[in-house]
Amino acid sequence: MAVYHAPLRDMRFVLHELHGSEPDGGEDGFAPDLLDSVLDEAAKLAETVLLPLRQSGDAEGCALENGAVRTPRGFDAAYRRFCEGGWQGLSCDPGVGGQGLPERLHKLVEEMLCSANLAFSLFPVLTHGAILAMRDHADATLRARFLPKLVEGRWSGTMCLTEAQCGTDLGLLRTRAIPQDDGAYRITGTKIFITGGEHGLAENIVHFVLARLPDAPAGTRGISLFLVPKFVPREDGSPGARNGVVCTAIERKMGIHGVPTCALSFEDATGWLVGEPHRGLPAMFTMMNGERLSVGIQGVGIAEAAYQAAAAYARERLQGRAPGGARHPDRSADPILVHPDVRRMLLTMRAHAEGCRALSGWVAWHLDAAAHAADARARQASEDFLALLTPVVKALFTDLGFEAASLGVQVLGGHGYIRDHGMEQLLRDARIAMLYEGTNGVQAMDLVGRKLPAAQGRLLDQFREPVADFIAAHAANAGLAPYVQPLGSAFGRLQSATRHILEADDPAEPAAAAAEYLRLFGLVALGFMWARAAQVALPRVQAGDEAAFYRAKLATARFYMQRILPQADGLHAAIMAGGSSIAAFEDAAF
Amino acid sequence: MAVYHAPLRDMRFVLHELHGSEPDGGEDGFAPDLLDSVLDEAAKLAETVLLPLRQSGDAEGCALENGAVRTPRGFDAAYRRFCEGGWQGLSCDPGVGGQGLPERLHKLVEEMLCSANLAFSLFPVLTHGAILAMRDHADATLRARFLPKLVEGRWSGTMCLTEAQCGTDLGLLRTRAIPQDDGAYRITGTKIFITGGEHGLAENIVHFVLARLPDAPAGTRGISLFLVPKFVPREDGSPGARNGVVCTAIERKMGIHGVPTCALSFEDATGWLVGEPHRGLPAMFTMMNGERLSVGIQGVGIAEAAYQAAAAYARERLQGRAPGGARHPDRSADPILVHPDVRRMLLTMRAHAEGCRALSGWVAWHLDAAAHAADARARQASEDFLALLTPVVKALFTDLGFEAASLGVQVLGGHGYIRDHGMEQLLRDARIAMLYEGTNGVQAMDLVGRKLPAAQGRLLDQFREPVADFIAAHAANAGLAPYVQPLGSAFGRLQSATRHILEADDPAEPAAAAAEYLRLFGLVALGFMWARAAQVALPRVQAGDEAAFYRAKLATARFYMQRILPQADGLHAAIMAGGSSIAAFEDAAF
């Protein structure tokens, strides 16, 4: 029953039309046709291999049997197909077996995987994070031994941070690492909530584990990062003896049933230090920041899948009549697509899915620029942009993905609540993305507490200047006024809220404003994407084969400006009211 | 793991302090102590009998075996306890075995049942709807035969409206009723989504079925209401022969696993007409309107349960430090209650749970007045108020209940997503309430399309006048200004939006504004409740045993005014932008 077709036309719009030339001035040598053909292949994989396993994977779930995790039927074969196609290494260095394709392509492929089968997509996304951490922090020996296997997908990766007593606050972690004479370490401790912590899809699993050395200072400055494989590789690189890592339980959870969430017990497990002693947290954050962008994209994938399924239902379900009278008097009733409230819900989902895709395209453009731009200042500017936008992408997109899934359920009515249509699964699956890799509240705190004040606002400039420049450049453009004027108004609200936060004396004030501020920031960022989309679409709506595509783009932009962006007013007012009502409430009264 | 204590102090606040004297001038003879003692007993039932079955009922679910539905372990005994305590007939006429207690008490008891175990609460709530339909529309013979059994809870009730091809649009229904010589009818057809359609908790199940007579006109004017029992009663009133009603399937669904959602096949089933031929829809709406209020209360119950569980977790979970520095330096970390964003989430849940309870108390006051006020004009005024507020209560409360459950998950982080804490169950259970008894979009259409324009705005006056009077009466009260001024501003937005809708020429315009308008209306109604609560609390915050209770009330009111009510601005702007962007989007482009 699941419906999904990769939105290839809109992806090409983001890739080729919205964000302009290639980050390095068009010299990275990726012909648009090449990128498009990869998108086409990814769409086939998502639609024909992963989508058919979405509902069955949810219904069957995973099982822990004698320490081994059984994944749902079909995941094994699908994972082989995924690896054989070279998808794991899509954007990785060809020197370690990757395809060397740009991130702005990779992120679109990730979105397709999330739309088709969010649970399945978590295996490769964690491996990708592990690849990034290895690439940037592991020494040459470890890299040579592990990186090609991870890039191939033959071995998979995990992140082992959380323990029962510590989630957000990693300073509390207790897992210990004892150095051995041979340069390795013995790791002992218990980790929970480890996505893909044990399974049989890959030959080996490479755990990235945060632990404390014997001489570690207390708190977050005493945490080191270790690589702990499920099987210790032999000299020839093949998986050797079983390491001291045992899956003791898998969680019963709301959704993403197709991927196991494991409790792992490390008992004198052999591991190797990645990066410097006590500097594990910064190293892990390489992985974490990549994951946060990917988690944001999960929200886009869910929003797109929910939109498509809801629109398909709304076209076919006959119920009631249009407000002005029957639109299809020959049929027993009109399709529910005629009802303004159904259209409102669909347009909200569409505006968010496409808006987030556009913003994610901008972010991916900077990922490529940060890696490849010739000019060091340009690379730094892109790094700044990414640091600023990462918490916004993670929290905003996952909030909107969840809201889109809930709207999808609403469009289907009672049929949305039962399993058959698969819509309630999207809602259950979507909910996790607001929690893992740092809850959305943690993202909001990162934005207001670290990113805004960092380097005298240098990070913020990377966002503020392009938006301000765009508004100024098009202030006199009558055709764009319906898009630029609302954007300008909301942008003014954002500037005012930013000042409020940066100028606050009370350290609790930014924290009290954080959630609303992140949403306001996100609404403005999406508004900028929609105004940019309108700018691209406007000259193309009158004629040509694709005029209908550009008309829809322009119409969605208008809907966004008129019906969604005004939420900026209420968010601004709530922020400006300050946090005294939050602080003043007596603890004992909760 | 489930946490819940009935919020008795706040319930007494709503019952005795907020809505003033009894509707009939204090002469209905219910001493406050009597009502309070019933609340205490209900709390025991909810906390000790129903709550322990919430998570086990979800995990076990229902099963269909040889046409019979097995409910979760313990539901049988709990249902017997419920009936033996006389809870089914709490507000029913003593002449048919009821307790004759007021609705303003009954609705608070309903809330407790929903907090403790939403799935279980659906059995009695549907029976209550059946009792209302019988009382108002069935003839004396049917009433004598069925009403006492329903009031006792010995027999339970269902509503059989939906068919595969018709949900919202009942004009499409196909179930047929053929008159027999003995005055009975033979009913044939298939109904779906029948909550409690088959089970063994009660001796008999009384289905209220919409069907068409042979001479019925097409559409909604050709629908009649029939009573169809599972077992046809013998002369002595005991259940006799099995009737032609078969449960052919139960749905696999997102939540409310403890109650079966059934497909029922009626095959020449014996039934009796309730009310006039072809007038089934108005009769069913007696039941439906009662159910809609009860469904709204499900949202309050969920919000309260989620708030309590989240607050308990936030008090105990140690993670991170308060923004200004450690609040508990002696412990490894501060409880997460110190974090402003966690407090914001808790206060949002609390403000909505208490605000909705207060509004539901006002509605319940009018239920009693509509039934018992001596003056016919007063009764009519209360009927008007109820007609206006019913869609608001249903849609607003269930939206906010779902949002509160989602915030509850967020407060718990990853622990909110796994089954153990029971928070994700609240989210899954809560989601149904936005769908059944008319989706929230249908409620919004009912508000703008029927209730606003009805009788030249007479219904609306019942809400507008008390709010306007309150604002005028306290305009010069400096102590109340922090509550009355924001209320006045939001009320102005509501008036402006109301004019926009009532003066629209295009019939699609009210429909396009409906969802945002209902939310705006709801925010103002809750704002009125919070301003009223502040008025009651203000003189009591300085001294006395209960000063802390009133301080918390006042502080929550302030939070609502500063951090939630400003959303009215964005809603107003979206409404005033009009529906052209919704209408203009080309159907083919969805």
pLDDT digits 0-9 by tens, A446-487: 999 999 999 999 999 999 999 999 999 999 999 999 999 999
Q: Cβ–Cβ of A574/B582 closer than 8 Å? A: no
Q: Does A570 touch chain B (CB under 8 A)?
A: yes
CA-nearest residue to B316 within chain A is A165
Average the pLDDT over B412-426 and give the result: 97
Q: Which of A58, A347, A520, A585 to mutate to test the interface with B (most CBs of B within 10 A)?
A: A585
Q: Which of A406, A424, A570 sits opposite B568 (nearest CB)?
A: A570
Query: Chain A 418-437, CB below 8 Å of chain B: which residues?
Result: 418-420, 424, 427-428, 431-432, 434-436
Question: Residue B23: what pLDDT?
Answer: 59
> Which residues of chain A does B164 touch, with a Cβ-Cβ cutoff of 8 Å?
none
Residue of A300, A196, A201, A200 lying closest to A256 (CA atoms): A196
Measured CA to CA, the distance from residue B49 to residue A567 in angstroms comes to: 44
Cα angle for residues B221, B224, B225 (degrees, 5° grid) = 140
What is the arithmetic mean of pLDDT over A351-359? 98
Given CB atoms, is B337 within the 8 Å cutoff of chain A? Answer: yes
Name the residues of A annotated as catalytic. Answer: 437
Whether residue A175 contacts residue A166, with contact meaning beta carbons closer than 8 Å, is answered with: no
Element at B15 (helix H, strand E):
none
Q: Which residue in the set B253, B551, B584 is minimally distant from A418, CB to CB?
A: B253
* Number of inter-chain CB pairs under 8 A, A vs B: 286
Judged on CB neighbours under 10 Å (0-12, 13-18, 19+), A52 is middle
Give the pLDDT confidence score for residue A30 in this predicted structure: 87
- Check residue A90 and report its DSSP letter: T
What distance in Å separates the CA atoms of residue B153 and residue A147, rounded to the nearest whole number?
67
Q: Are B5 and B21 in contact (CB under 8 A)?
A: no
The residue among B480, B108, B519 whose CA lies nearest residue B294 is B108
pLDDT one-digit tens code per residue, B353-405: 999 999 999 999 999 999 989 899 999 999 999 999 999 999 999 999 999 99
| Residues A372 and A24: beta-carbon distance below 8 Å | yes
H or E element at residue A197: none
Q: Are residues A567 and B568, on separate chains, in Cβ contact within 8 Å?
A: no
Residue B568 contacts A, CB cutoff 8 Å: yes
pLDDT in the model for residue B365: 95
A323 contact residues in B (CB cutoff 8 A): 507-508, 510-511
C-alpha distances out from residue A69 to A201, A247, A250, A261, B69, Å:
10, 8, 8, 10, 33
Query: What dihedral angle (degrees, nearest 10) is formed by the CA atoms of B337, B339, B342, B346?
Result: 50
Q: Which of B337, B439, B500 is the best residue to mutate to test the A interface, defined by the most A CB atoms within 10 Å of its own CB?
A: B439
Please give the structure tokens belonging to residue B479: 């102590």
A314 contacts on B by Cβ (under 8 Å): 590
Separation of first and last alpha carbons in chain A:
45
- Nearest residue in A to B570, CA atom: A567
**Which residue from B minimizes the CA distance to A332?**
B172
Contact A109, A90 (CB under 8 A): yes
pLDDT digits 0-9 by tens, B28-83: 678 899 999 999 999 999 999 999 999 999 999 999 999 999 999 999 999 999 99
Q: State the residue for tokens 């239902």.
A: A313
| Chain B residue at shortest CA distance from A431 | B417
Q: Is A118 on the interface with B (CB under 8 A)?
A: no
B439: nearest CB among A172, A410, A570: A410
CA dist., res. A496 & res. A514, Å (int) = 14
Q: How many Å apart are CA B371 and CA B393, to the nearest integer?
A: 19
Contact criterion met (CB < 8 Å) for B514 and A167: no
Please check whether residue B316 touches A, CB under 8 A: no
* Cβ count within 10 A of residue A25: 9
Name chain A contacts of B252, Cβ cutoff 8 Å: 418-420
What tens digit of pLDDT does each residue of B474-486 get?
999 999 999 999 9
Which residues in chain A are contacts of B588 at CB distance < 8 A? 548
B584–chain A Cβ distance below 8 A for any pair: yes
Max Cα separation, chain A? 84
Looking at the DSSP assignment, which residues form a beta bridge with residue B263?
B249
Residue A22: pLDDT above 80? no
Q: Complex ipTM above 0.95?
A: yes
Compute how many other C-beta atoms are within 10 angstroms of the C-beta atom of residue A271. 26
Is A240 exposed, middle or buried, given 0-12, 13-18 or 19+ CB atoms closer than 10 A?
A: middle
Measured between CA atoms, the residue of chain A closest to residue B318 is A165
Contacts of residue A40, Cβ cutoff 8 Å, sequence gap at least 6: A8
Which residue type occupies A475? A
Question: Distance between CA B43 and CA B37 in Å, rounded?
Answer: 10
Would you give the DSSP letter of residue B71?
P
| Whole-number Å distance between alpha carbons of B565 and B561 | 5
**φ, ψ dihedrals at A438, nearest 5°:** 90, 115
> How many other CB atoms are found less than 10 A from the CB of residue B498?
19
Chain B residues whose CB is inside 8 A of the A435 CB are 409-410, 413-414, 416-417
Is the pLDDT at B26 greater than 60? The verdict is: no
Closest Cβ–Cβ partner in A166, A346, A567 for B590: A346
Assess B180–A contact: CB distance below 8 Å, yes or no.
no
User: Cβ contact (<8 Å) for B341 and A162?
Assistant: no
Residue A238 DSSP SS3 = coil
pLDDT at B344 over 90: yes
**Chain B touched by A159 (CB under 8 Å):** no
What does the DSSP assignment read for B163-213?
BTTBSS-GGG---EEEE-TTS-EEEEEEEEEEET-S-SSSSEEEEEEEEB-
Mutation target vs A (from B162, B195, B585, B586; most A CBs, 10 A cutoff): B585
Residues 6+ apart with CB under 8 A from B78: B49, B50, B53, B120
Q: Which residue of A has its CA nearest to B573?
A: A566
Taking the C-alpha atoms of residue A114 and residue A119, their distance in angstroms, rounded to an integer, is 8
Cβ–Cβ below 8 Å for A344 and B571: no
| Nearest-CA distance B343 → chain A (Å) | 6
- Helix (H), strand (E), coil (C) string for A376-442: HHHHHHHHHHHHHHHHHHHHHHHHHHHHHHHHHHHHHCHHHHEHHHCHHHHHHHHHHHHCCCCCHHH
CB contacts, 8 Å: B170 with chain A? none
Cα–Cα nearest to B343, from B310, B302, B367:
B310
Instruction: Name the CA dihedral angle for B124, B85, B106, B451, rounded to a multiple of 10 degrees.
Output: 20
Torsion angle of C-alpha atoms A252, A256, A260, A265, degrees rounded to 10:
-70
| Nearest-by-Cβ selection for A511 from B340, B434, B588 | B340
Helix (H) or strand (E) holding B477: none
Inter-chain residue contact B590 with A420, CB threshold 8 Å? no
Pairing verdict, β B231-233 and A185-195: unpaired
Who among A415, A508, A569 is closest to B569 (CB)?
Answer: A569
CB contact under 8 A, A410 and B440: yes
Q: What's the DSSP call for residue B318? A: B
Is-contact A286 A207, C-beta < 8 A? Answer: no
Q: What was the pLDDT predicted at A25?
A: 47
A395: nearest CA in chain B?
Answer: B410
* Beta-ladder partners of B166: B163
Residue B437 annotated in active site: yes
Q: Name residue B189's beta-bridge partners.
A: B266
Across the interface, of B432, B441, B581, the residue whose CB is closest to A562 is B581
Bridge partners of residue B220, in order along the sequence:
none
8-state DSSP, A212: B
Residue B22: the pLDDT is 61
How far apart, in whole angstroms, are the C-alpha atoms of residue B389 and residue B97?
30
Closest CA to A125 of A230, A259, A282: A259
Which amino acid type is present at position A288? M
Name the 3-class secondary structure at A373: coil
Contact between B355 and B339 under an 8 Å Cβ cutoff? The reply is no
Q: What is the mean pLDDT of residues A335-342?
A: 97
Interface of B with A in 346-375 (CB under 8 A): 346-347, 350
Q: Which of B553, B580, B498 shows the shortest CA–CA distance to B18? A: B553
pLDDT for residue A23: 59
CA distance A585 to chain B (A): 6
B507 interface with A at CB cutoff 8 Å: yes
Q: Pick the catalytic residue: B110, B198, B437, B509? A: B437
Mean pLDDT of B451-456: 94
CA distances from A8 to A37, A41, A523, B270, B588 (A): 10, 11, 25, 56, 17
B144-157 per-position pLDDT tens digit: 999 999 999 999 99
Q: Phi then psi for B49, rounded to 5 degrees?
A: -105, -45
Other residues' Cβ atoms within 10 Å of the Cβ of residue A314: 22
Arithmetic mean of pLDDT over chain A: 96
